[in-house]
Amino acid sequence: MYAMFFTLNQRVARDLFQMLSDMGLSITQFKLLHFLLRDPTGDGMSVKALGEQFSLSLAAASRAVDGLHQRGFVTRAECQEDRRSKRVRLTPAGRDAITELHATNIALLATFTAELTDDQRRALADAIAPLLGMLDLEPSKEGPSA
């Protein structure tokens, strides 16, 4: 099982990391964009809350958000309740960037699974289905599968 995940990760992650590098994004910034994409309220989140979500110091979260802001992927606005705090929201450019990254991941996985036989694809789907159920994940409403 480990060998399969390791091999798949090498195939997919290498291209994803290259794409992140080409976009000037760190893994942390990728995670923040992904998290903001799933913001159910659309009100954004404070830099502090984003940092806490990913166990980042306030300084590290601020640096990551600053880089995203400089690329036009997020906006920062004063929080109405606490003017010392900034609310971070995804911009259309940020939504496009994370959607493009998701589409690349899906395409890479599709390329991998295209190499499998029909029986292997069915076996993989049968093996993964209960694992996904255990994770209690809601399907994404964004990206190429929407």
Whether 3 is in a domain gets the answer no
| Boundaries of domain holding 120 | 8-135
pTM over 0.85: no
Pick the closest to residue 49 from 85, 81, 76, 94 (CA basis).
85
What are the pLDDT digits (tens) for 52-103?
999 999 999 999 999 999 999 999 887 777 667 788 999 999 999 999 888 8
Report the C-alpha gap between 73 and 97 in whole angstroms: 8
Averaged pLDDT, 113-118: 87
CATH of the domain at 16: 1.10.10.10
**Domain count for the chain:** 1
Q: Is residue 29 part of a domain?
A: yes
- Please state, in angstroms and as integers, the Cα–Cα distance from residue 116 to each residue in 1, 107, 112, following that order: 16, 15, 7
